[in-house]
Structure 1
Amino acid sequence: MGLSNVAITAINKVYSQPQKLLSFADTNALLALCDRLQRPFVHFWTTEVPTLILGINDRHLPNLSAALASLKYHQFDYFLRNSGGLAVISDPKVLNISLFMPLKRTPYSVDEAYAYIAQLIRSCFDTLTIDTYEIVHSYCPGKFDLSVNGQKIAGIAQRRTENAVVLMLYMSVGGNQDDRSQTVIDFYQAGEAQSQHHWQFPVVDPATMTTLQQLGMPTITNDDVRQRFITSLLDTGDAVDLSTAPEFLRSEQFVQEQAKQLTKIQLRNQQLPVV
C-alpha cells in the first residue's frame, strides 16, 4: 500500500558549508507542509564537507566546548539539529534520506512508520540480509538501526506533527567508516561524556559499523542508492514526481516556511559555545 494518492515529490540537494543549517530548515519546512497539504515528499541530501550533526542530548555534554574543539582538530564542521538525541555524521559519501508521510489517510504508528522505511531499504538491497535492532556501540544507536552481520549501515529517526511524520535515515554508502567512528569517539571523550550518569552517551566501537561499499558493492554511489529507493517506492504502488521539485522549492509557501524554520534553527545554534 502506498503513502498517498498524490505523487511523492522527490527532492535532491547538496548543502555547501554555508548552507548547512538549511538541511534541517528544509526538513522542518517540508514536514510542516506535508502536514498542511497532506502531500508526501522524499528528500535526498548530502553535505559538501564532513559534518557532525549534534542531537539535542549532546548539548548536555559536561565539556561541550572541548568536544566541539575536537571536531575542528578532525577538520569536521558541526551544527545542532532539533531532532534525534545523539550525534551523527554527514559527508559526501553518506546519503541522507527523509521520507515525509501524510497521516490522515494512513495513520502509521511510530513502529509502523519505522518498519515501513526499513522495508523500503531492504527492497533496495535484496542481496543483503538487513536486520533491525539496536547496535549498542554504534553512534546514535536506536531500536531501528539497520545492520548486516551485526554492523550498522544506517540509522533512522522520526519526527511527528499532528497529521504527518518524517522518517530521517542516513545511509553509509562509502568512505572511511572507521574514521567517522573515531571522530565521534574523540568527540565524546573530549566532552567527558562518561563522567556523568544523567545522560546516556554511546561508547562507540568502530567494528560495529560499516558501509555498503565494504559489503561487496565497491562501486555503488549515492546516485545508485537514490535510484534504488525511488524504485522501491514505485514498487509499493506510489507515483514519484521527479520533475516539479524546483518549482515547489521556489513557491511562496515553501520559501516562507523555510525562512521561519531557518530562523528557529539559527537561534538554536547560537546557543552553542564558541570554540
Structure 2
Amino acid sequence: MIKQHSSITELFKQPTWRIIDQSTLGSSFHALQSFAMDDTLCTSIGSEDAPPTVRAWVHPKTVVLGIQDSRVPFLTEGLQFLQNQGYEVIVRNSGGLAVVLDEGVLNLSLVVPEKERRIGIDSGYEAMAHLTANLLSPYGLTFDTKEIATSYCPGKFDLSVDGKKFAGISQRRLRGGVAVQIYLCVNGSGASRAELVKGFYNRALQESETKFTYPSVDPNVMASLEELTGKSVQVSDLMKGLLSFLKMQGAELLSSQLSVSEINLYDFYLKRVVERNEKAMNS
C-alpha cells in the first residue's frame, strides 16, 4: 500500500483542475488521438498556458504496443492474430509494453507543470497510486504497489491485490509538463485480456531468441476491479469518485476541452503520432 507523503498530496493542491472527460466518446475517438492529447497537454501546461488537467479516456477494443513490441521477429503474425480477435493495434510513442484497452478499461492522465518544482519520477507514480487508493476506498479495497513480472506491461508501480494486477502506471515528460497515466481494469475479465497479449507474444516471438526480454504473460495474475471486489464497478462510478476527490482538495473544477491554441498544437502532435505509428508498424 502506498504511503501518504506531503509531497504527494501537494501535487493535488492546485487552485484549479481542468477536467477533460473523454470516457464516453466510444468509437469516434481513436487511441492515437489520446497520445496526441497528452503531448498537447504536456506542452501547454508545461508552458503554463493552461491549468493542471485530469483527462479521462476509454477506447473500444484496441491493443497499444510499445516500441519494443514493434521489434518482435514475427510482427505481422502477431498483428494478424490481434486483428482476427477484433482489435485495432497501434504503437505508442512512449515506453512500456503491450496493454489492452476496451470499454471496461479506464485511463486517467494527470498532467501538471514542472517549472516551479521538479516532480521526481517516483513522486509522480506515488501521486497516482494515492489517487487510486482514494477512488477504491468505497469498495474497501487495498492494494500492493510492486512489479507483477508475469503480467502484461510489468512495471515497478503495478497495482495488485493478492498478486492479481488490475492497473499499471506510466509517465510522459515533455516540454516542462508531466503526464502521469494509469490504466485501470474496471470490469470484464483480466485473464481474457492477458490471454490476448499472451497470444500476441506467442505468435510474434515463436520462441525466437531476442535481445530484449518480453514478459511471459500468465493470465492468472490479471484481474479487474469488479472481479477483485465481487461487486459491480463501472467507469462512471470511478469518474464520480475522481471529481469528489479533487473537490476535497479545495480546487475549482473546470470542465472544458482544448483551447484554440491547444487545438493547433494538437494537430501538430496528432500528425507526428500518426507518422510514428505508421513507421513502427511497417519497420
* Aligned positions of 1:8-23 closer than 5 A: 8-13=17-22, 14-16=25-27, 19-23=30-34
2:108 corresponds to which residue?
Answer: 97
Q: Choose from 154, 157, 182 the match for 2:170.
A: 157
Secondary structure of 1:21's counterpart equals: helix
Does residue 222 (structure 1) correspond to residue 243 (structure 2)? The answer is no
Q: Of 97, 100, 116, which aligns to 2:127?
A: 116
- Equivalent residue in structure 2 for 1:26, among 37, 53, 56: 37
Whole-Å separation in 2 of the counterparts to 1:91 and 1:59? 21
Amino acid at match of 1:92: E
1:6 aligns with 15
| 1:241 paired residue among 249, 253, 257 | 253
User: Which digits, 9 at most, give the CA deviation of each residue in 1:81-114, with x for residues without a partner?
Assistant: 1112201111001000010021223422001111
Q: CA deviation at 1:139?
A: 0.3
2:52 is equivalent to residue 40 of structure 1: yes
Per the normalisation by structure 2, the TM-score is 0.89
Residue 224 of structure 1 deviates from its aligned partner by 0.6
TM-score by length of 1: 0.91
1:125: which partner in 2? 136
Task: Flag the 1:136–1:123 CA change in 2: closer, same or farther, 3 A.
Answer: same
**Amino acid across the alignment from 1:61:** V
Q: Which amino acid aligns with 1:210?
A: A
Unaligned runs of 5+ in 1: none
Task: Give the 3 Å change call, closer, same or farther, for CA 238–258 of structure 1 in structure 2.
Answer: farther
Question: 2:47 aligns to what SS in structure 1?
Answer: helix
Amino acid in the other structure paired with 1:11: I
* CA offset digits 1:106-165 (Å, max 9, x no partner): 422001111111111112222112110000010000000011111111000001135221
Moved more, 211-220 or 58-67: 211-220
Whether contact under 8 Å (2:143, 2:160) holds in the other structure is yes
1 CA distance for matches of 2:266 and 2:26? 15
Give the deviation of 1:260 after TM superposition. Answer: 0.4
Query: What is the CA–CA distance in structure 2 between the aligned matches of 1:6 and 1:194, rounded to whole Å?
Result: 53
Counterpart-to-counterpart distance in 2, 1:102 and 1:193 = 43
Q: Deviations over 1:54-107 (max 9, x none)?
A: 111111111111110110121111111111220111100100001002122342
